[in-house]
Amino acid sequence: MVHSRIELDGTSLTCDLVTRAARADVMIAISADGRKRAREAWSAVRRVAERRPVYGRTTGVGANRAVEVEWEDADAHGLRLMRSHAAGAGPLVRAEVVRAMLVVRANQIAAGGSGVDPGVLTALADALNLGVLPPVPVYGAIGTGDLTALASTALCLIGERSWLGHDSETFPDASVAPRFPLSSADALAFMSSNAATLGEAALAVTDLQTALDASVVVAALSLLAVRGSREPYAPAVHRAQPAQAEVAAAMRTLLAYEDDTPARIQDPYGYRAFPQVHAPAMEAARHAETTVARVVNSAAENPMVDVTDAVNAADAEVWHNGNFHTAGTGLALDAARLALFQAGALSAARLGTLTEPSFTGLRPFQADVEAASGIMILEYVAHSALADVRRQAAPAALGSAVLSRGVEEHAGFATQSARATGEAVAAYRIGLACELVAAVRALRMQGRAPSGGPLRAAFDRAAAVLPDGVADRPLDADIAIADDLVPVLARLLPAE
């Protein structure tokens, strides 16, 4: 059963919508305006190509950009491009990433800058609605266009390569598999896109914001468990810093029903500096989301067909450009991962306090008897996950490459940045899950619970599914359950 419908119009796609389209049972449609823009660009680029060279249509590509395609070879030229560029390697990327790529590419074409035959929009929507995918290997892009992924998609569209089903096996019914006869002239126009990188980035920043929202709720539970002070969240402390003020206000709302006397005049950084560390991560995540959303709704092709500024159809122009380069996206994601590591380090620090009798009033490691290990292993798991966040935080933008006989002499590796961001968020959530397990267990052993409001709702949701035994036992299931709770807790974050 399809639960909702997402219409791609080339102007209003968000990271959240990309994520829903990639993960949920939704119907994908193309708006009339999007089809109109694509049709106008398609008509325009053919007229321009009759009067002057257009890269990839009437010329070779890369170092062959100055080589004109002879008219008698025109039909074979595009097919050679599709075949030669479909050369990715390694394991296939996750199905949700490929779906996100198809959504983004359809939306980009609907933005009206590619010049691709608008009929391909129907074929892309059909692929998404049928649940079929092109085979897309991990290795092949460096942030300057996802040529290998989209060449593979193009070969599926023209029938030279088989679509895959949900289980990564060949789609069983070839008779209903999407087909579209991409013309030779449209080959590069279809492939010249960063849709795979942007699709993966959209998934990553959506998950990042969810994890960061949940973190505020988990931190509030931990503060309650250690009887921490709420002074660090006073409005006066954060007057000059709007993002810090937002985090502090959420903490005050979450803790508004509590009247415990603080156990200390001043708490460790995990609580006292929480707004100062968490706010930059939230700001970085929002900047990354804004950056990705802006690009998925823009004409990011080379060459770009411009019908917007034309007085009439005959005045349309084609601009050779570098919009395929996702430097801004990669830098935004790099910054977000660095900030995420800082937030993860603070979560691990709070977890450390939850093992200490001086903070919880319980035995060491919240053990049920002397010399038992209790939650000792959670710290190891959290720091193991944090080490991966730290490893993934290395800026991908520090790399570069010189390709195609030196004419393509720069790369930002935004593709790798997007992949690293998704992996870093997954590792961060494991550490956060460990903190949640420890905070809920401490409150249970203390015989306490939040007094009301969204924090009580969060505790009740967690306590309803987390095992309540405190004798030494495997805690892997507890961590997995807590990880699944992250989206649930994120929705309980008080609105600003």
Strands 317-319 and 304-306: antiparallel
pLDDT tens figures, 343-365: 999 999 999 999 999 999 999 99
pLDDT tens figures, 203-216: 999 999 999 999 99
The CA–CA distances, whole Å, from 215 to 229, 340, 382 equal: 18, 11, 14
Nearest-angstrom CA–CA distance, 440 and 149:
44
The CA–CA distances, whole Å, from 187 to 57, 61, 85 equal: 8, 11, 11
Residue-wise over 325-351: b if at least 16 C-beta within 10 A, else e?
bbbebbbbbbbbbbbbbbbbbbbbbbb
Residue-wise over 181-217: b if at least 16 C-beta within 10 A, else e?
ebbbbbbbbbbbbbbbbbbbbbbbbbbbbbbbbbbbb
Q: How many CB atoms lie within 10 A of CB 39?
A: 16
Question: Predicted confidence band at 66 (pLDDT cuts at 50, 70, 90)?
Answer: low
Work out the mean pLDDT of the chain and round it to a whole number.
92
Structure tokens at 368: 């049920």
Where exactly does CATH 1.10.275.10 map onto the chain? 4-193
- 384 touches 115 (CB < 8 A): no
Nearest-angstrom CA–CA distance, 18 and 6:
9
pLDDT of residue 160: 93
Where exactly does CATH 1.20.200.10 map onto the chain? 201-490
Per-residue pLDDT, averaged over 127-156, amounts to 94
**Angle subtended at Cα 214 by Cα 295 and Cα 466, rounded to the nearest 5 degrees:** 135
Could you tell me the fold of the domain covering 201-490?
Answer: Fumarase C; Chain A, domain 2 (1.20.200)
pLDDT of residue 14: 98
- 85 touches 404 (CB < 8 A): no
Q: What CATH number should be reported for the domain whose range is 4-193?
A: 1.10.275.10
pTM for the model = 0.95
Nearest-angstrom CA–CA distance, 123 and 111:
17
Considering only CA atoms, give the Rg of the chain: 26
Amino acid in the structure at residue 267 = D
> Does residue 121 sit in helix, strand or coil?
helix
Q: Does residue 1 register a pLDDT over 60?
A: no
**Angle subtended at Cα 298 by Cα 295 and Cα 303, rounded to the nearest 5 degrees:** 110
